Amino acid sequence: MDKEQAKKRAEELRPLLRYYTQKYFDDEQVVSDYEYDMLMRELKQIEKEFPELITEDSPTQRVGSSIKKGFEKVTHEVPLQSLQDVFSFEEVEEFDEKMQKAAEEFERPLDYVVETKIDGLSSAIEYRDGKLVKGATRGDGLVGEDVTDNIRTIKTVPKTLKEPISITVRGEVFIGKEDFEKLNENRLLDEQEQFANARNAAAGSLRQLDSKITASRPLNIFMFNVQKCDDINFETHYESLLYLEKLGFNVNPVKILCKNMEEVRQAIEDIGKMRDELDFGIDGAVVKVNDLELREKVGTTFKTPKWAVAYKYPPERKETLLKDIVCQVGRTGAITPMAILEPVNVAGSKISKTTLHNEDYIKQNDIRVGDRVIIQKAGDVIPEVVGVVKEKRNGTQKKFHMPEVCPVCGAQAVREEGEAVWRCIGVECPAKLYRSIIHFASKDAMDIEGLGENIIGELIERKLISNIADIYKLTFDDIASLKKNGKKFAQNMMNAIEESKHKDLYCLISSLGIRHVGIKLAKTLTKYYKDIDDLMNSSYEELRMIDDVGAITARTIYEFFKQQQTIDLIEKLKQAGLNMKVIKAKHSNNKFDGKTFVLTGSLKNYTREEATKLIEDFGGKTSSAVSKKTDYVLAGEDAGSKLRKAEELGVTIISEEEFITMIS
């Protein structure tokens, strides 16, 4: 490659690497670690061959970072540098040759400590007189984010040390393999996007503005360095690690003291072999000079210490048999195809199944039952099918088709236009039970106060409810048994359950969890259907004629009410005594008929919900956005952009006092 070609390639690589680096520090990984490393290595090689092409903003010269809005900045007293990556043992030997020369020059002993390179988020934690006072992310190595409250939620971070010493330590926050798999399984069931790898999950969890979210995630930490300690002069790195253990820290458990390069090579190989057995993810082995005075003499570059390198293992891929494809139903009805594999060990764990995402992914990759497939763990954590060995097909392989009925309950499965996911529409599907009841009891549905997620989970676990209608079979003793001294709690919930029987019809419609039907559309439907039977017997064509009901929504409503599960549930709720009709509005005056209101700012006499209810009682409706079709903007205190928009469009603006006059 000549200089002109090198310059062109470097100009292509720099913005690409900056983008990948920014995404990485924003806890989004768009390429694998290996792909990123290879691109960075290519740029470094170009700049090594043509030093005049190095620019100040080159990714090779800077540590990327992103300080998240909402966090205070923390300037690190001792920089948190990154490590120089190497990808062959020859490069480790080159590093050793440099260290041997330095050891001879400065007349210092040379030995090494080889440690696992934990795949997580680096953090610095400061203690004063043995008490935790501050925790910060690495950021760009010089400035990080103050995440003290979040650090405190990590169970393996001591809040008080065993000695009243002032010290700053560096550690890697991570999520263990089993914990990560459970976390992603739960997210899959909840139809939340899965974390790409444990590193992203750990980083995203530590950088939450709400520490309660951090506390709910299974974070762990291994300490691997003393950043600053004025009270003790350590001679070696290994000695400092042993002292950290004595203080009560959770120290990196893999730290191998090596006298020479032969032992370093063996340690790297041993760590590579033990990756399968470790309960935490690693993305390499770190080789560090042990003698701290020699480290001081060798020094650092702006970005990396010269006395350490990180050996990166190549990503592991394995071939195995795809024995079957089965479907898993999530808590909101999403049906996900899962590959059942002949068990194979990949990057540390035995893989016997993995998600195939959706129907389109299977078709695009032409994945068939009976194929020999290539499995790789994305980011060394999530197993995925990355290829099919088509040359090994023998004609027995079978194409897969998504089921048209739910594999759990037998209700109809549908894939709506514009979506990649098939869904079960059975209202009493056992796989959806937990989420269905949470929605049924929520504020925008039957509003059963006290019947929250934890209580619902407990009721299901104790088999006190197995469908929505069972809520109305609960006894005082059933509910009281959930809490110690739970009589008052039980009475309050029994009252709330009884009150829910008398809710208006739109609450019942909203509570059923029909796709695309929220409380607003439920209210619209009750203008045309005065009891549940009318709605259940409506045709697709009738539904299509209603304002705000499009073709997809009309089809969804029609098919939902034709399901036997829906018919059975409505009958059970009728028998339980629930109201099935529109409750006549308190105001028979339809003075707002056909009028659209937009609410903005804070009202003195009403909540937003109360004002909306009044407008609807008088025949009007509300919208969240101001347009030329808006009739009135009801403006309270601190009204903002909606008020300005109304003024621009010439929409009538009314005060709360004027609104009260209108409804009097």
Residues 382, 291: one domain? no
**Predicted confidence band at 638 (pLDDT cuts at 50, 70, 90)?**
confident
Domain end: 291, 311, 331, which one?
311
Residue 250: its pLDDT value, please? 96
Q: Count the Cβ atoms, other than its own, within 10 Å of residue 607.
A: 10
Q: Note whether residue 644 is domain-resident.
A: yes
Number of separate domains in the chain: 5
Spatial distance between the Cα atoms of 173 and 224, rounded to a whole number of angstroms: 11
Taking only the tens place, the pLDDT of each residue in 554-591 is 999 999 999 999 999 999 999 999 999 998 755 556 78
The CATH number of the domain holding residue 160 is 3.30.470.30
Q: Note whether residue 398 is domain-resident.
A: no
Residues 120, 252: one domain? yes
Alpha helices in 207-335 (DSSP H): 211-215, 237-247, 261-274, 292-298
Domain end: 292, 311, 330, which one?
311
Residue 416: its pLDDT value, please? 84
Task: Tell how far CA 139 is from the center of its chain.
Answer: 21
**Predicted confidence band at 137 (pLDDT cuts at 50, 70, 90)?**
very high
Q: Note whether residue 408 is domain-resident.
A: no
Q: Is the confidence at residue 8, as pLDDT, over 90?
A: no
Residues 385, 517: one domain? no
Taking only the tens place, the pLDDT of each residue in 464-509 is 999 999 999 999 999 999 988 889 999 999 999 999 999 999 999 9
Residues 515, 653: one domain? no
Residues 456, 376: one domain? no
Q: Which residue has the higher pLDDT, 350 or 128?
A: 128
Residue 33: its pLDDT value, please? 63
Q: Note whether residue 591 is domain-resident.
A: no
Looking at every residue in the chain, the average pLDDT score rounds to 89
Match 């739960």 to its residue by tokens: 186
Residue 641: its pLDDT value, please? 83
Domain end: 340, 360, 392, which one?
392
The domain containing residue 606 runs over which residues? 596-663
Spatial distance between the Cα atoms of 475 and 523, rounded to a whole number of angstroms: 32
Q: Is the confidence at residue 283, as pLDDT, over 90?
A: no
Residues 557, 489: one domain? yes
Bridge partner list, 412: 405
Rg, the chain, Cα only? 31
Residues 158, 273: one domain? yes
Residues 536, 654: one domain? no
Residue 184: its pLDDT value, please? 85
Residues 152, 277: one domain? yes
Q: Note whether residue 404 is domain-resident.
A: no
Q: Note whether residue 375 is domain-resident.
A: yes
Report CA torsion sign: 255, 257, 262, 264: positive
Report CA torsion sign: 151, 157, 159, 161: negative
Residues 322, 441: one domain? no
Q: Note whether residue 503 is domain-resident.
A: yes
Residue 347: its pLDDT value, please? 64
Residue 114: its pLDDT value, please? 98
Q: Which two tokens stand for residue 326?
A: 């089965």
DSSP assigned state of 637: B
Residue 23: its pLDDT value, please? 64
Q: Is the confidence at residue 348, as pLDDT, over 60?
A: no
The CATH number of the domain holding residue 39 is 1.10.287.610
Q: Note whether residue 406 is domain-resident.
A: no
Report percent pLDDT > 70 for the chain.
94
Residues 321, 304: one domain? no
Pairing of strands 143-145, 255-258: unpaired
End-to-end CA separation in angstroms for the chain? 83
Does 117 participate in catalysis according to the annotation? yes
Catalytic residue among 7, 69, 73, 117: 117
Burial class of residue 556 (count of CB atoms within 10 Å of its CB; 0-12, 13-18, 19+): buried
Residues 281, 335: one domain? no
Q: Is the confidence at residue 64, as pLDDT, over 80?
A: no
Question: Average pLDDT of 174-200?
Answer: 83
Question: What count of residues does the chain have?
Answer: 664
Q: Which of 185-194, 265-274, 345-354, 609-618 has the highest mean pLDDT?
A: 265-274
Residue 584: its pLDDT value, please? 72
Q: Is the confidence at residue 381, as pLDDT, over 60?
A: no
Q: Which residue has the higher pLDDT, 116 or 71?
A: 116
